[in-house]
Amino acid sequence: MLIRSLTLATLMAFTGPLLAADNRGPLEQDLGKFRPLIVIAPSSIDPTQVKLKKDLEEAGNKQKFTERNMVLYTVNYTNIGTVGQRDGKDLGAQDTNALIRALKLSASTGTKVILVGKDGEKKVEKTVPPDTLDLAEFFAAIDKMPMAEKEAAAAAEPEPTAPVTGDAGKAPQELND
């Protein structure tokens, strides 16, 4: 019995930290990779959330959303609890609660729309109403971010050309000799 207890304790000591590392919140998993746009609404039929999803289905907005490495989170309060999704795929209860805790929200009425940067910090936070929701504002905020500027510069930078060697690098006189 003692050996079983020691074995179990040793196993838990080694696997506990590994399991905890896999249980990071969704925002921590997106850190450095994506820019989360988070909508926290009282229900899935909230007009702000419905309008945002409809706007994101438009080809131009969808392309801008993808180009800026954005990901959409939605959190809704239902009769059975809080329900979260990441790009339309359900999050577990733990992940949804971790997302809400990470945002450190204050109590308010209305729908919250929050843009988080790749660095994990809140960049834009709106409460609708009284604020209005315009995707162009979120895209403009991303374009002003230093990380976005670095990515744009890297994309615009031409690839270095290799030095020309062989017959192509010789002058015409040298080819005739």
What is the domain partition of the chain in residue ranges?
A: 25-152
Tell me whether the omega of the peptide bond preceding residue 130 falls within 30 degrees of 0, making it cis: yes
Q: What is the pLDDT of residue 20?
A: 42
pLDDT value of position 4: 52
Q: What is the pLDDT of residue 78?
A: 77
Q: What is the pTM of this model?
A: 0.69
**Topology at the third CATH level for domain 25-152:** Glutaredoxin (3.40.30)
pLDDT 10s per residue in the chain (177 long)?
556 544 544 445 444 444 444 456 899 999 989 999 999 999 889 999 999 999 999 999 999 999 999 999 999 987 778 899 999 899 999 999 999 999 887 767 789 999 999 988 999 999 988 788 889 999 999 998 876 555 655 555 555 555 555 555 555 554 444
| DSSP state at residue 31 | T
